[in-house]
């Protein structure tokens, strides 16, 4: 079945609506991030020790950095650094000047405590240990604060980038470009096939927001988003795909699989290594839904050539 769709708005009004929509999207996403992402995120970075023999026993120097990579203070911070079977000969702690940090050695373990750790602040711990038996390359580290446990970050890797307006603006601009392209197609009285549901591809708002929310999910996975932010984009995408009538397609099935995978993850699983893989899967979904859209408009051209 084919439907001829008459243009219902003029280009000046369409462009004005696009500018207003762009401003609303950028403002809403910025405010949503500011309100939802204010939480601590603790990471500890151990350096490998190279134990050496001195005075008839094995000696090792261990360095551990504890950093708050989040957007809120980590309160009631406690931690332990254990060097199994060793004797702690000396420990030294350096921290931001106004932060009182307590460190004490008991047996083979150094215990650490601080009332709080602000965003971007780091506590550096140095431990001199010795043993008549071989020493481990790294200490066994455990650090936590109120409502959060620290994860291990490999030295030399960087924290995920903080929120930036640029990817939000890029997402919104791409989404609006899609909307304007649809407007242009309708002004040329394009014949649009629709599938499954009565509205099908005529549901322009759902088509627009499907593209927008997939771009949202990719941006969140690739940069600043926590697990809930990524899931928001995936759930919304699933809703709009269903409204268009694509629930039975492979693209929608793949979307459901990705949503299920991310649901099972914890925020700590979103590392600099895992984020590109999630973003790549969203790219695959964008391509799959794009192919479905192109099939509804056989004469579609991606560019003026």
- The CATH number assigned to the domain with range 42-152 reads 2.60.40.290
What is the rounded average pLDDT for all residues in the chain? Answer: 81
pLDDT of residue 82: 95
Alpha helix stretches (DSSP H) within the chain: 11-36, 165-187, 204-222, 227-244, 250-263, 275-295
197 burial (CB, 10 Å; 0-12 / 13-18 / 19+) is middle
The CA–CA distances, whole Å, from 45 to 16, 40, 66, 138, 238 equal: 50, 16, 7, 10, 38
Residue 97 has pLDDT above 60, yes or no: yes
Instruction: Give me the residue spans of the domains in the chain.
Output: 2-37+163-295, 42-152
**CA 191 to chain CA centroid, nearest Å:** 39
Residue 18 has pLDDT above 80, yes or no: no
Q: Using CA atoms, how far apart are residues 128 and 13, in angstroms rounded to an integer?
A: 71
- Over residues 251-295, the pLDDT tens digits come to 999 999 999 998 998 877 888 788 889 989 999 999 998 888 888
For the residues 112-136, what does the mean pLDDT come to?
93
pTM > 0.85: yes or no = no
Pick from 182, 139, 207, 163: nearest CA to 30: 163
- Over residues 76-94, the pLDDT tens digits come to 999 999 999 999 999 999 9
């Amino acid at each position: 079945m084919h439907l001829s769709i008459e243009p219902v708005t003029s280009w000046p009004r369409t462009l004005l609506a696009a500018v207003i929509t762009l401003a609303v999207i950028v403002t809403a996403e910025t405010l949503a991030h500011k309100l939802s992402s204010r939480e601590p995120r603790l990471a500890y970075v151990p350096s490998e020790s190279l134990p050496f023999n001195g005075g008839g026993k094995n000696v090792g120097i261990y360095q551990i950095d504890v950093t708050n990579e989040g957007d809120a203070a980590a309160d009631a911070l406690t931690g332990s650094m254990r060097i199994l079977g060793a004797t702690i000969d000396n420990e030294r702690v350096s921290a931001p000047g106004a932060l009182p940090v307590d460190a004490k050695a008991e047996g083979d373990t150094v215990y650490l405590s601080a009332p709080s750790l602000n965003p971007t602040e780091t506590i550096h711990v140095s431990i001199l240990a010795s043993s008549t038996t071989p020493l481990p390359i790294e200490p066994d580290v455990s650090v936590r604060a109120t409502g959060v446990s620290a994860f291990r970050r490999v030295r030399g890797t960087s924290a995920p980038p903080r929120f930036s307006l640029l990817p939000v603006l890029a997402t919104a601009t791409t989404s609006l470009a899609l909307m304007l392209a649809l407007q242009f197609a309708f002004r040329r009285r394009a014949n649009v096939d629709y599938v499954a549901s009565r509205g099908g591809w005529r549901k322009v708002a759902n088509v627009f927001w499907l593209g927008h929310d997939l771009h949202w999910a990719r941006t969140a996975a690739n940069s600043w988003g926590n697990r809930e932010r990524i899931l928001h984009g995936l759930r919304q995408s699933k809703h709009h795909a269903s409204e268009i009538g694509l629930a039975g397609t492979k693209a929608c099935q793949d979307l459901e699989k990705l949503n299920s995978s991310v649901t099972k993850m914890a925020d700590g699983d979103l590392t600099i290594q895992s984020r590109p893989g999630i973003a790549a899967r969203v790219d695959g979904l964008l391509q799959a839904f794009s192919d479905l859209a192109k099939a509804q408009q056989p004469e579609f051209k991606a560019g003026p050539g």
